[in-house]
Structure 1
Amino acid sequence: MNLLALAPPEQPIAGGGQLVLAALLGIALIVLSITWLKVHPFLSLTLGSLTVGLVAGLPTADTVTGFGEGFGSTAASVGALIALGAMFGKLLADSGGADQIVDTIVGRAGRRALPWAMALVGALIGLPMFFEIGLVLLMPVIFLVARRSGLSLIQIGIPALAGLSAMHGLVPPHPGPLVAIDALKADLGVTLGLGVLVALPTIALSGPLFARYAARWVPVPAPELYETGTATAGPDAAGKGESERRRPSFGLTLATVLLPVVLMMGKALADIFAAEDSRIRTVLDNLGTPLVALLIAVVVAMFTLGLGSGMDRGTIAKSLEKSLPPIAGILLIVAAGGGFKQTLIDTGIGKLVADWMADSGLSVMLLAWVAAVLIRLATGSATVATVTASGIMAPLVPTLSTGETSLLVLAIGAGSLFFSHVNDAGFWLVKEYFGLSVGQNIKTWSLMETVISVSGLVFVLLLSLLM
């Protein structure tokens, strides 16, 4: 469905010009405070929400109340999922399970297949882990594989980065997709299935295929670092010595990683194909509920990855405890994005956008992608781009089907990855790890992110033709 004609629930509280001005000033304040004043995105989103309400003429008390409701509902629905995902990823790293996946896949690949193997490794590691954690984990492996194979660091590294980045932007339970799913009331299981469907060809294009050309533009050899010794689960890995002596098996680790995916996709399939009152649908609906699926995965991982690698109960508890402090900022940004979304809805700005959309004939998917791209370019944050674009698009989705709403989430996710540059922390992280100049990083990492974004949009638009 390309055209949208609907009436959002909130009527405008002021004239069109005043509401447009309010939205533009609010978004401009968010962008400028993050990029120029270097204010934390949580505070920027909060100030932006208050600015929108004030300029639109919404009473201050109502603005604060609406922001609090949006903040609370988003934190309640998304926060626990992000926390459980962080716990699962930390156990995977600390137990040596991630290393087991990497070593098994790379060890069985021939020299010509190594870029494809590294893309698969990046995708599997990126499924449960945040991008930054996955990057730290994979860098020793990237260096070693590049040196021992004689291939360029770019030819090996870019496919792994593509797998990590595409999963981070398109597939739940990562924060961006989760907050978009919550804001747009999309079905998580359907979004997960479609996200994997879009991510796989996107990774192929932006990873191994793009790396062939990027390696010619930037022929960088791997450094001597990590040439001796074993790749570990990253800095501060709890129980590192134990996990190096006895890692969980590849099959057990892979089954544990895919467990929440299978449960959530099982729920989505049961909702489509099983009878409404059937026992199998009831069971799968309960097990595939996102919170339950991730909770089961963490509990199972404590046994299969934790105890299975020789970690004792104290070490497992310490690993889980250390997973939470690094995501505190992400949780606040995501929740504040929910508050900003609610402010936009309460002022009735969405009604104006919906009316304009109905008359414009533009694709909803394309509009969502462009909105995310603009915020991404301005702020450098994929998460801020996702939560802001989701807030803008939220009033436009009541008449979309389940599949179309999930594709809208993916369009926003693809837009949030567009052209990482100097205002993105990930840009500098990749640059320093790979030892590249700014120009070289733009030719490789930044262009790779752009290929992910554009190809992701293309695949979303192709799937939308079937909805």
Structure 2
Amino acid sequence: MDPIFIILIGTVVVLFCIILLKLHAAISLLLAALVTGLLTSSDLIYQYAIQKGMSIQEAQSLSTEGIGRRLADAFGNTSGKIGILIALGSIIGACLMRSGGAERIIRGILRLFGKKNTSLALIFGSFTLAIPVFFDTVFYLMLPLVKSIGVKDPKKFSLYLMSVMAGGVMAHSLIPPTPGPLFVAQELGVDIGVMMIGGIVIGLITVTSGYIYAKWANKKWDLSMRDTADITIKDLKQISVTDEADLPSLSLSLLPVVLPIFFITSKTFLDLNFRENTGDLSVVEHKAHAIFSVLGDPNIALIISAVLGLHLMWYKIKNIKKFQKYVTEALTSAGMIILITASGGVFGQMLQQSGIGIRIQDLAGNYQMALLPMAFLITAAVRTAQGSATIAMVTTIGIMSGVVSAGLQFHPVYLALAIGCGSKVFSWMNDSAFWIITEMSGMEEKETVRYFSILMVVMAFSGLISLMILSKFLPFI
């Protein structure tokens, strides 16, 4: 069966189960993954495995695996990538909110930027953090602040939430040293410094358009704050009126947020320096690289942050029963999010194994469009079909390499950035970030589409339009 039809059937199944049958998201995603996997022939799986760089033996082994094993492996792979991060992120968030640390940070932000500029502080703060750090981690660390300030100004909760999402989501696909833009830049021969500058410029343009949409959406629709498994609105309101003398210090409150960012950022840039100057590094640089290779792993960094957060919460409440209750609530919330996110990962993996990347590559060869829109649309199609921005970028650069070798009429950084923008269209139920945002913010699926998915579309297309204009008037060749 053609992979396009397989994806359409899988999409219909998941939407039918969630919207009409009202089934739980995890069950709906697993059923859709099962149907998708059953419809995918062994030949399609074999071709997918070969394209992924597997050996002939590995490809044959994967193509003959039973559907149950493939589902379980996909579930385990996704859980392995995000399970610990979600659990720790939930603990950190609960600790920051229960201890009053998030409230203390928000009061500091309001004092520094003023209440009118809070959303701008959130959007540019998350944009800066997301340059070296994955979006999921940025969202975990920023969400407690959004909730704490949202309870003070409920009518702007969606604006604050979208500000964090708009700031954090684009940097991941535009600015090295995150994997997607780094790989694309290397494949196109674009200098990393040039890619970073171009990514920041286009990123700021897309973030601005996202902020405009966020302000419009905040006025158009009302998104109320809701109780989540880790904390209720009543508890947030009680914390929001706490006397400042009873809140932890600003430095202690910031530590669980700042320290993991420092560790992860240091590892990212030390890795980049290590790859480029392996033979020229001093003993101190080698030791620093070895230390931060451990501390800068996201799992280790968030473990340290969680320990600091637990200390902060214990210092505040000093009640063992309440302490245990709050940690249990955080882990209960995290468990459901991990289940749903891993189920979405299974669905996305089954879509990838259908060979949709190969199918889109074949279609792209039959149509000669302008290069920038072509690269953008191919990336968008792959991203929407299988859920991973990084895989979409890697797939597209493979498709476009033959076209690029014929020569460009503008600097290749424009093509790299067009691919990055295309990877942000369209986040839906096969994307782990979609479910993380839905569950941790207390939104329904249709609300996540409105406040996150469409936000990404607006930013992605504003990036494409900007690139087409700039490449015309400032080709840099």
TM range (shorter): 0.5 to 0.7
Structure 1 residue 18: Cα displacement:
3.6
The aligned residue for residue 10 of structure 1 is: none
Residues matched between the structures, number: 386
Q: CA deviation at 1:167?
A: 5.7
Where does residue 151 of structure 2 map in the other structure? 140
State the distance in 2 between where 1:299 and 1:69 align: 31
Match of 2:427 among 383, 403, 416: 416
2:362 to 352, 355, 364: 355
Bigger relative contact order, structure 1 or 2 (CA pairs below 8 A, ≥6 apart): 1
Q: Where is the helix percentage greater, Structure 1 or Structure 2?
A: 2
2:247 partner SS: coil
Are residues 1:68 and 2:75 paired?
no
2:24 aligns with one of 40, 46, 59: 40
* 1:19 positional shift: 3.4
Q: Deviations over 1:355-402 (max 9, x none)?
A: 334554664554444566x78xxxxxxxxxxx745698498268599x
2:123·2:163 contact (CA, 8 Å) conserved in 1? yes
| Residues in 1 aligned to 2:25 and 2:157: alpha-carbon distance in whole angstroms | 30
- Aligned equivalent of 1:335, options 342, 355, 361: 342
Q: Which residue of 2 is the match for residue 289 of structure 1?
A: 297
Deviation per CA, 1:287-320, whole angstroms, max 9, x where unpaired? Answer: 11111111111112223x2245354555444322
> Structure 1's 157 and 70: CA in aligned 2 closer, same or farther, altered over 3 A?
closer
Structure 2 CA distance, aligned partners of 1:319 and 1:266? 32
CA distance in 2 between partners of 1:93 and 1:453 (Å): 32
TM-score by length of 1: 0.63
In the alignment, is residue 160 of structure 1 matched against residue 160 of structure 2?
yes
SS of the residue corresponding to residue 141 of structure 1 reads: coil
The residue that corresponds to 2:50 in the other structure is none
Alignment RMSD (CA, Å): 5.3
Report the equivalent of 1:26: 10
Cα distance in 2 for partners of 1:322, 1:451 equals 31
Query: CA contact under 8 A between 1:368 and 1:412: conserved in structure 2?
Result: yes
**Counterparts of 2:376 and 2:221, CA distance in 1:** 37
1:448 to 1:120, Cα distance in 2 relative to 1, 3 A? same
> Is the 2:393–2:419 contact (alpha carbons within 8 Å) kept by the matching residues of 1?
no
Q: Is the 8 A contact 2:393 2:423 kept in 1?
A: no
**Sequence identity of aligned pairs in percent?**
20
Q: Which residue of 2 aligns with 1:146?
A: none
Measure, in 1, the Cα distance between the counterparts of 2:83 and 2:321.
Answer: 25
CA contact (8 A) 2:3 2:356 kept: yes
CA contact (8 A) 2:360 2:378 kept: no
After the TM superposition, which residues 13-412 of structure 1 pair with which residues of structure 2 at under 5 Å, given as runs? 17-58=1-42, 62-110=66-114, 113=117, 116=120, 127-129=138-140, 136-142=147-153, 153=155, 157=157, 159-166=159-166, 202=206, 204-207=208-211, 234-236=233-235, 246-274=246-274, 275-276=277-278, 278-303=286-311, 305-312=312-319, 315-360=322-367, 363-369=374-380, 388=387, 393=392, 396=395, 412=423
Secondary structure class of the residue paired with 1:396: helix
> Which blocks of at least 5 consecutive residues in structure 2 are unaligned?
43-62, 130-136, 173-177, 185-191, 225-230, 402-412, 430-436
Q: Secondary structure at the match of 2:266?
A: helix
Output the amino acid matched with 2:298. P
> 1:268 is aligned with what amino acid?
T
Cα–Cα, structure 1 residues 391 and 122, in superposed 2: closer, same or farther, change >3 Å?
A: closer
Q: Which residue of 2 aligns with 1:8?
A: none
What whole-Å deviation, never above 9, does each CA across 1:153-207 have from its counterpart, x for those lacking one?
5xx55542332433675689xxxxxxxx9999999xx9xx99x968776555444
- Tell me the distance in 2 between the aligned counterparts of 1:283 and 1:40: 43
Question: What do residues 411-460 of structure 1 show as CA deviations (whole Å, max 9, x unaligned)?
Answer: 54563289xxxxx979x9789xxxxxx9xx99xx9589745542255458
Q: Unpaired segments of 5 or more residues in structure 1?
A: 1-16, 144-152, 173-180, 224-231, 376-386, 419-423, 432-437
